[in-house]
Amino acid sequence: MLCDFHIHTTHSDGSVDLPRVIDLFGQAGFDVIAITDHVVDGDNAIGKLGRFLRLSVTEKKFGDYMERVRKEAQRAWDKYGMLVLPGVEISKNYISSDRSAHILLLDLKRFVPASWDYERIFLEAKRQDALVVACHPHHQSDPTSKDTLFLWNNRERYARYIDAWEIANRDDIFNVISLKKYPYIAGSDFHKTRHLYSWKTLLDCERNVKDVKRCIRDNRGVAITLFRN
């Protein structure tokens, strides 16, 4: 199955609204996607600015966000046979790249604040049976993208909580993930229509949430592909 587990919409800092995102990926023949809008840390200046600019899903807006994703997921299934997972990208942003980290929580049910410490976030995700993915964990080639190196630099402490690491993000490949033999997926970090053409995940499993999560956690039948027009 052709999959993309890292997609943003106008619910955070994406430029494409949710219905259009569903149609773009559905018409392109995708089997599974995840909607992962940002939840930023409101306890620092960068996070407060993101909230002020409405670039984050907040606890107050979370219920509406999940309901909209649920409705579009049903439409995606009915129209395209495409499975849509609800999720967020926990975004801990600091001036220092070494302190910054972004974490995808896939198949999330209840709101998780980005201001919580890492262990609390990871344990709550496990309680909700959400997938935990360390996204763009190493140096990126895009000069406009800020590196988020905290999880990689502290991998000995946190790897046991992480179900998969992004081995490829948009146009980048992080070979350090392969060298450590960590479980992996790939994603577009979709913000604009052109980001449809980027690294993707291939899964060999049944098209349902339970089997998708098991496949990623076991990291069997997982591959990546560079999706082009």
Per-residue pLDDT tens over the stretch 103-130: 999 999 999 999 999 999 999 999 999 9
Q: What is the pLDDT of residues 43-58, one digit of tens each?
A: 655 554 555 456 789 9
Please give the structure tokens belonging to residue 9. Answer: 């919409």
Per-residue pLDDT, 49: 53
Please give the structure tokens belonging to residue 57. Answer: 């899903």
Q: What is the pLDDT of residues 152-196, one digit of tens each?
A: 999 999 999 999 999 999 999 999 999 999 999 999 999 999 999
Contact 18, 196 (CB under 8 A): no
pLDDT beyond 70 at 102? yes
Per-residue pLDDT, 163: 98
DSSP E strands in 95-189: the ranges are: 101-106, 131-134, 164-169, 172-173, 184-187
Q: Using CA atoms, how far apart are residues 207 and 190, in angstroms rounded to an integer?
A: 22
Per-residue pLDDT, 82: 98
How many domains does the chain fold into?
Answer: 1
Residue 138: closest CA among 159, 167, 163? 167
Q: Is 212 helix (H, G, I), strand (E, B) or coil?
A: helix
Q: Using CA atoms, how far apart are residues 118 and 142, in angstroms rounded to an integer?
A: 26
pLDDT beyond 70 at 150? yes
Per-residue pLDDT, 229: 82
Average pLDDT on 133-143 reads 95
CA atoms within 13 A on the CB side of 202: 6
10 Å CB burial of residue 36 (0-12, 13-18, 19+) is buried
Q: Which phi and psi angles does 182 have, rounded to 5°?
A: -75, 150
Per-residue pLDDT, 109: 97
Per-residue pLDDT, 52: 47
Other C-beta atoms within 10 Å of 93: how many? 22
Average pLDDT on 137-162 reads 95
Contact 82, 25 (CB under 8 A): yes
131: domain CATH number? 3.20.20.140
pLDDT beyond 70 at 13? yes
End-to-end CA distance of the chain: 18
- Mean pLDDT of the chain, nearest integer: 94
Contact 137, 152 (CB under 8 A): yes
Enumerate residues 6+ apart whose C-beta is below 8 A from 228: 197
Average pLDDT on 63-67 reads 98
Residue 41's domain comprises 2-226
